[in-house]
Amino acid sequence: MTTTSTPARADRPAGPDHGTSPATTPGPAGPPDPDAAISVRGLVRRYGSGKDAFEAVRGLDLDVPRGTVTGLLGTNGAGKTSTLEVIEGLAPATQGTVQVLGHHPIKDRATVRRRTGVLLQSTGFPGDLTVAETARMWHSTLSDPRPVDEALDMLDLRGRAKVKVSSLSGGERRRLDLACTLMGRPELVLLDEPTTGLDPESRREVWRLVRRLREAGATVVITTHYLDEAEALADRLEIMHAGRIVRSGTAGEIAEGHPSTITFDRLERALPDLAGGQVDQSTLGDPRTVVETVDLQTTLTALLDWARAERVRIDGLDARTASLESVFLSIADGAEADTRRTEPTSKGA
């Protein structure tokens, strides 16, 4: 499987949709699963009201099994943070059912809060406190916290303990956020873009932490725009688009059935029938031609047999199986057509 460390962002140029995207994965059905760490059914989150209403989450179904790492992916504005905030008990659901560790995230907030560690997408501690003072302040709000030094060590921050928060680099601040998130020994950890802005070594350190959390039995939900990170860490991926989960499974399951691609430098002659392979017409005038196929071996063999018989030299030949990135980008491409300025799905608060 091909991976990339390039963040897959929604603002990448939209490409053609060749109608080859696999169908949306059906979400969990029936009543909420009381054994799941998180169980969501029919979640709607609407901002505003009347004609200005905007549905950021539009009927989301999700089960997160205990003891697993789930990667919640999606383009900018897909609704990841809006969903997490409801799960975290920071905002009410407009509609739908949410259970966290078998509890209601708002009505049973005291119980859920104690057992959950939350890293918000944007946070901010007062700049005039030092790292150690901030950590101690946070420590005093928790019921069974790790010692402050242990939490700082986990994020390699002990050496910065006496530095004011305002003087920390962006990545160091993020690590301080994370140290506080993990200080309360949470059994459920919700991380909204924990590694954005971190250098590669710090990212790897966060990966090691997440793996250690899972080994210790915790459940982790992580959002990220780094698809390599999602593949490396998550047992299961949930891809959101336009307020719904549209694909679920392992990276391999998600890429299955998605076309592989063969790319080569533009040829000066017409291509033959490629045994199921289809030339991406939008690449015809480009320096590189792209052929998509669901049967890479057969199409590649047809191409190479033709080239040998016709004595054609194919330069810059590259063949790759479908990747999480290619599925993700095909979902992102569809984003253009989706405005979501809607009539609300139904009544609701």
CA distance readout (Å), 161 to 84, 174, 191, 287: 30, 14, 23, 54
Q: Report yes or no: 38 and 188 within 8 Å, Cβ to Cβ.
A: yes
103 to 142: interface string for ligand ATP, x by CB under 6 A: ------------------x---------------------
CB under 6 A: which stretch of 23-31, 76-84, 170-178, 316-324 binds ligand ATP?
A: 76-84
What contacts 128, CB < 8 A, 6 or more positions away? 164, 165, 166
Residue 335 is a binding residue for ligand ATP (CB under 6 A): no
Q: Does 196 bind Mg ion (CB under 5 A)?
A: no
Does 81 sit near Mg ion (CB under 5 A)? yes
Number of residues engaging ligand ATP in binding (CB under 6 A): 13
What the block records as the tokens of 278 is 């289809």
Residue placing its CB nearer to ligand ATP in the complex, 53 or 304: 53
Q: Considering only the stretches 80-88, 153-161, 235-243, 311-319, report the one whose residues sit in contact with Mg ion under the rule CB under 5 A.
A: 80-88
Contact indicator for 210, 202 with CB cutoff of 8 Å: no
Among 67-75, 77-85, 228-236, 254-262, the segment contacting Mg ion (CB under 5 A): 77-85
Of 22, 54, 104, 344, the residue at the interface with ligand ATP (CB under 6 A) is 54
Coil, helix or strand at residue 133: helix
Site for Mg ion in 105-134 (CB under 5 A): 121
Task: Assess contact for 181 and 117: CB atoms under 8 A.
Answer: yes
- Position among 78, 135, 209, 302 found at the interface with ligand ATP (CB under 6 A): 78
Q: Assign residue 185 a region: left if phi > 0, alpha if psi is -120 to 50, beta otherwise?
A: left
In order of 253, 270, 303, 330, the CA distances from 277 in angstroms are: 22, 14, 9, 18
Contacts with ligand ATP by CB under 6 A lie at: 47-48, 54, 56, 74, 76-82, 121
Contacts with Mg ion by CB under 5 A lie at: 80-81, 121
